[in-house]
Amino acid sequence: MPAALSPFAPRLAPRLGPILASLLLGVVGLVPPAQAAQELLVQLDGLNLPLDIDQLATWARNPAHPQGDLGVWFDLLEPGSRQDLLRLLRAPLVQDRSLGRQLIESWTGEQVLGAMGEVISGAGVPAVWQHRAAAGATRPPGPLPPLPAAAAERGQAPELQAGGPLLVKTLRQLLEQQPTVTTIDLLLALPARRINLNLDALVAMASQWRQQLEAQRQALAVLRRLPLPERGPLLAITDGLAIANGRSGLAGQAPAQGSNLAPSRSQVLSLPVAHRSSPLQLVLWPAQGSNRPSGWVLLMPGLGGSAAQLGWLGAALAERGWPVLVLEHPGSDEQAVRALLDGLQPPPGAETLLIRLQDVQAVVAAEQAGRLPPLGRSVVLMGHSFGGLTALLAAGLRPEADLAGRCRRALRQPPLTNLSHLLQCQLARVTLPAPQPLAEPVAGLVLFNGFGSLLWPNRGLAGLDAPVLLLGGSLDLVTPPLGEQLELFLPEANPRNRLALVDGASHFSPVRIRPGSQALFQLGENLVGLAPERVQGMELSLTSEFLLGLKSPMALPPQRRQLSGVKAYVLDRAAAARWRAALKT
């Protein structure tokens, strides 16, 4: 690790990097209950730096006068770096007891904490404490016995506990005792004679983000050099300019200037279904104009999303002649995340796919049976992120064999640069029903920020008869386009499938939150990306043109496109293969 990134190195840069500081907060915050450890061993640049935790805690309370050896170490730090460390130790890592409990008891929390074992571990944990801690007991009072000589010489103990289980036990106990937990609380509470804090591993994790962003930057540079024809929209109604200028997608507002389309207004429908105790709430955007397609769009938000966040897309597609029904899935929607934050339930995950698939089956069957307004003879399944995964499973795909084995290999390191691995691997614990055809044929699928590289590493989309449009963003680190969309797209499949990469788009670019709304999360530019409405205009342009191709022999052609300053690249399989080959060279 470069010395400039080392918190205790003599040549430390003027300030500890923001990424490292935030990762420290996140990692240590996922930690730990009992009596103070005697030593904190920091592993840095291949060195082991022993620090006294009690002295560190005293310094956190009164940083003007560091005690003992701390003064020697702190003299090597720039003032800004000492302030970073002080903020880290004082930071309130868990401010809500109920939320903290729900997170650590969840499968996702278990995986994240387990992966942190490389960063934080405890040595010198007496066997009696390990046994009693599993039963929820507190650590016995009094001094801990010395380490065996052989173990001390190795700098380890035979009772070495991986960070994950140790963190889960201690954090669970701390939350029983106090509602708020700081970093220094956690370090003091770990039931070990020595705590190992591997900052080399931590900085390596931080560098994964930079490496992934750099890889995507280089991949985009290669993509720009591919010999793709310059093209514009085929028809005016697919130009996306209305949404790019912020004029489309809001009920009752006028469409773009010069358009013959009427304003699109939504309808809220209630559909009783057998598998739920309460009716499903649906938002219908009726098609506008006389030239209507034979199909309709079933639009599904991502995990923790809402129908309102995708209302702009439903309204814009309806203005272009496609009736759109937005399906919000209770239990994995925005209200479910609110319940998590209130400490009322664990985080929703892959287990909600079972009832999501039932929702899709029920809605399509209800439309076909006349229990909903007539929309068309075939359906296009469209979804953002987790909604896209729902679409793939509803269309008949099922994970390839040995998902558990692939996940064991993938989760050896925290999936910092591909968070979708957590959801994909959680699916290994879910027993999916056998594929069941929908009541109406699937005309196509549109997946915004789709994923599935661990689910279908060999077949990709080959199991689907309907054409698929995969849209990704160059700034997406949740479902990165190289590791997810490209890998899913490359295996031989429907020749009308298309992969589109939007320059400057992120994972949350398809999400629109109106200013002043009471949305759960007000996403900023660092999550949504720059000029989100212009990016949405490009996504609308490509999506509506792909839908247009579903009812004609002409598919969306490979191309590079520019719209309102936003650039996108549309690939067929041959162009995607050339891109992959160019990346390898």
User: In CATH, what number is assigned to the domain containing residue 275?
Assistant: 3.40.50.1820
Question: Is the pLDDT confidence value at 291 over 50?
Answer: yes
Q: Where are the extended beta strands (E) located within 45-183?
A: 47-51, 92-94, 120-123, 181-182
Confidence of residue 30 (pLDDT cuts 50, 70, 90): very low
At 11 the three-state DSSP class reads: coil
Total residue count of the chain as it appears in this document: 585
Comparing 62 with 146, the larger pLDDT belongs to 62
Whether residue 555 is predicted with pLDDT greater than 50 in this model: the reply is yes
> For position 247, what pLDDT does the model report?
47
232 pLDDT band, cuts 50/70/90, is: confident
Whether the predicted pLDDT of 116 surpasses 70:
no
Q: Are residues 201 and 257 in the same domain?
A: no
Q: What is the mean pLDDT of the chain?
A: 75
**Who wins on pLDDT, 35 or 134?**
35
pLDDT digits (tens, 9 = 90+) for 434-474: 999 999 999 999 999 999 999 999 999 999 999 999 999 99
169 & 243 share domain: no
Confidence class for position 21, pLDDT limits 50, 70, 90: very low
Is residue 572 in a domain? no
Tell me the C-alpha distance between 10 and 156, whole Å. 26
8-state DSSP, 483? I
- What pLDDT is stored for residue 50 in this prediction? 76
- 3-state SS assignment for residue 424: helix
Same domain, 174 and 316: no
The sign of the torsion formed by the CA atoms of 63, 65, 67, 72 equals positive
Same domain, 201 and 307: no
Angle value at C-alpha 191, between 186 and 192, nearest 5 degrees: 110
459 and 375 in one domain? yes
Asked whether residue 463 is domain-assigned, the answer is yes
Classify residue 219: in a domain, yes or no.
no
Percentage of the chain lying above the pLDDT 90 cut = 40
Would you state the pLDDT for residue 208? Answer: 75
CA 582 to chain centre: 28
The number of folded domains in the chain is 2
Tell me: pLDDT of 502 over 90.
yes
Of 137, 138, 136, 156, give the one whose Cα is nearest residue 147.
Answer: 156
Q: Are residues 177 and 259 in the same domain?
A: no
Judgement on whether residues 230 and 283 belong to the same structural domain of the protein: yes
Are residue 141 and residue 31 in the same domain, yes or no? yes
**Could you identify the residue written with the tokens 């691997």?**
425
395's tokens: 């269309």
Helix and strand totals (H; E) in the chain:
22, 16
Tell me the CA distances in angstroms from 183 to 24, 91, 369, one per residue in order.
9, 6, 58
Average pLDDT over residues 277-292: 88
- With respect to residue 280, please indicate whether it lies within any of the assigned structural domains: yes
- Domain membership of residue 583 (yes or no) is no
Do residues 422 and 455 lie in contact, with contact meaning Cβ atoms separated by under 8 Å? no
Classify residue 467 as exposed, middle or buried by CB count within 10 Å of its CB (0-12, 13-18, 19+).
buried
pTM: 0.74
Decide if 151 is inside a domain: yes
- Answer yes or no: is 476 within a domain: yes
Which amino acid is it at 571? L
Looking at the structure, tell me whether residues 200 and 256 fall in a common domain.
Answer: no
Percent of the chain with pLDDT over 70: 66
Structure tokens of 106? Answer: 């969840």
The pLDDT assigned to 269 comes to: 96
Residues 6 or more apart whose Cβ sits within 8 Å of residue 431: none
Phi-psi domain of 243 (left: phi exceeds 0; alpha: psi -120 through 50; beta: other): alpha
Res. 427 pLDDT band, cuts 50 70 90: very high
Handedness of CA 403, 483, 21, 532 (dihedral sign): negative
Q: Do 141 and 100 fall within a single domain?
A: yes
Do 361 and 458 share a domain, yes or no?
Answer: yes
- Residue for token digits 């052989």? 150
585 within domain boundaries: no
- In the prediction, which pLDDT does 89 show? 74
**Domain final position from 176, 207, 238:** 207
Tell whether 163 and 281 lie within a shared domain: no
H runs (alpha helix) in 291-428: 311-319, 334-341, 353-368, 386-394, 403-410, 420-426
Domain that holds residue 383: 226-556
C-alpha to C-alpha distance for 379 and 297, rounded to whole angstroms: 6
Burial 401-421 (b: 16+ CB within 10 A, else e): eebeebbeebbeebbbbbbbb
pLDDT of residue 25: 33
What is the separation, in whole angstroms, between the first and last Cα of the chain? 27
